[in-house]
Amino acid sequence: MERYKMLINGTLVDADSGKTFTTHNPANGDVIAEVPLADKSDVDKAVAAARKAQKPWARKIQEERSEAAAMIAAALKENKDELVRLEISEHGATARHAPIMIDFAVKNIELAAAGARTLMGNVLPVTPSKGAPPGESNTVVYMKREPFGVCALITPWNVPTLLIATKIAPCIATGNTCVLKPPTLNSGIGLKIAEIISKLDLPSGLINVITGPGGSIGNYLSSHPGIDFISFTGSSEVGKDIIAASSKTVKTTMMELGGKNPVIILEDADVEAAAEELCGITFENVGQNCAQPSRFYIHEKVHDLFVEKFVGTANAIKIGVPEDPDTVMGPVVSKTQRDSIENFIKIALDEGGKMVCGGKRPEGPEFEKGFYLTPTVFTDLTSDMTISREEIFGPVVGMYKFSSDQEAIDAANDSVFGLCASVWTKDYARGLKIVNELEVGSVWINQHMNLVAETPWGGYKESGLMKEGGVIGPEGYTQLKYVCIKHN
C-alpha cells in the first residue's frame, strides 16, 4: 500500500485531523493507497495559499506562465510509467488504454501552454469622442483577457489523469492559481501528480491538491468565498449541486456533465462495419465515458443486421484483468458502480426491455474479487423507459428502430442531455441535414468519440455549460475586460 500526502502551499502535507481513507483496486478489491481525508480547515489553507500566490502569478509575463505548464507536461511524460501503473491498479484501466490517456493528457497540457501565448487583446476602431478634431480619433479601445483568480478544479474518476491535466494547464497558463480536488475513488492518481508537481520549480500555492468526499469537501470548496471560478466534470446531479452552492457567491462555472448519446444508423450506411466499430467504442473503458454511444437509432431496413453484428462483436470482447495486454474490457471502477449498473439492468427488464446480450458477471477465478460485468445490449425499448432516459455510465446500451429521418431526429433530441451524437451514412448531404437538427455539443459523421488535443469539449442542455479544452481551452479560464482610453 502506498501513502500519499496533499499539496498545499508548495508542501506535501497530511490532513489537519490526521484522518485518512483508502483507495482500492477494482480488479480485485485490494487496497492501493492511503490518502488524507481533508476537512474544512485544509480547504481554507489551500484557498489561502492560492489567493496569496495569484496576484504575483498573474503579473508574470505570458512566456513564464506557459513555460510552467510545459514543465508539468514534461514531468508527466517523464513519469508516464508510474502514472500508467496507477491508472491500471487504482482505476482499472486496461494496459492498452492507460498509456493512451497519459499521452493525451500531456498533449492537452502542451496545447494549452502554447494556446495561452496567443490569447491576446484586440484594439478596436471607435467613433471619435466629443471634442476630437474633425476626421481624427482621440480614443483607443481594446479588449483585455484577465484571469478569474483562484479556481476550484473538481475532476471525475473515469479518466483521472486526462481530466486533471485538461484543467490545470489552461488554468495556470492564463494567470490563475488553483485548488484541485481529484476524485475520491482514485485519489492516489491525483496525489501522485501532486507529488510530481511538488518537485518542480513552481511558486508555492500555484497548484494545491486536496482529497476528500465531494459531498463535504467539494461542496465547501464550491461555496467558498475565496474561490472565483469552478471547473467541474462529472454527473449532472452533482453539477447542479455545485452550481447551487456556487450561486451564493456568484461564481462563474464551467460544467462538463452527463450524456445519453444517440447514434443514428441510416439504411445506406456500411452497417456491418459501423456495428463493429461502434461496439469497440461503446465498451471502451467499460462504458464509463460521458461520450459513450448509448442510444442506437437504426433504420428499420437494417436494424436486425446491425444488432446481429453488434451483439456478435460484443460477445467476442475479451474481458480480463487490466494488466493483461490482450484485455479489452476490465472491471468497472467500484462495487457501488457495479451495483448501480446492475440495478439499471433489472429495471430495464422489469419495464419490458429485451436483453439480447450480457447482463451478467463473467465467470472464472480471476473475476471473483473484482467488479466485472459483461457487455449488455437491450432491444424492444420505448422512449419512456428508464434505460432510455438516464445515464448508466457502464457497459449497457439500447437499440431502437426508426423509419424516417425526422423520427430519428426527434427521438435523438428527446433527452435532457445534449453532449454528443453521431450519424452513419454514405449520403453526406443527408447526414449534414440531420447533424444541423441535433441538439448536442459535438457530432460526428461515420465515426464517434474521435477526439484530439485540439478538440474543445462540452454539451448542450443538462450536459453542461461552456466548452473546455482544445484550441479554445485557455479562453474559458479568462474573463474579458473592456478598456477605453481618451487621449489628447
Which residues are part of the catalytic machinery? 167, 256, 290, 468
CA–CA dist 265, 405 (Å, integer) = 10
Q: Which helix (H) or strand (E) holds 398?
A: strand 396-402
Query: For residue 94, which phi and psi values (nearest 5 degrees)?
Result: -80, 160
> Rounded CA gap, 46 and 178, in Å?
9
The CA distance from 458 to 468, in Å, is 6
β 417-418/460-461 pair status: antiparallel
195: number of CA atoms within 13 Å, CB side? 15
Place of cell 500508467: 84
CA-to-CA separations, 146 to 119, 167, 367, in angstroms, rounded: 10, 17, 52
The rounded distance, in Å, linking the Cα atoms of 94 and 74 is 23
Question: How much helix, strand and coil, in percent to the nearest 5, is found in the chain?
Answer: 40, 20, 40
Yes or no: say if 232 and 219 are a contact pair by the CB < 8 Å rule.
no
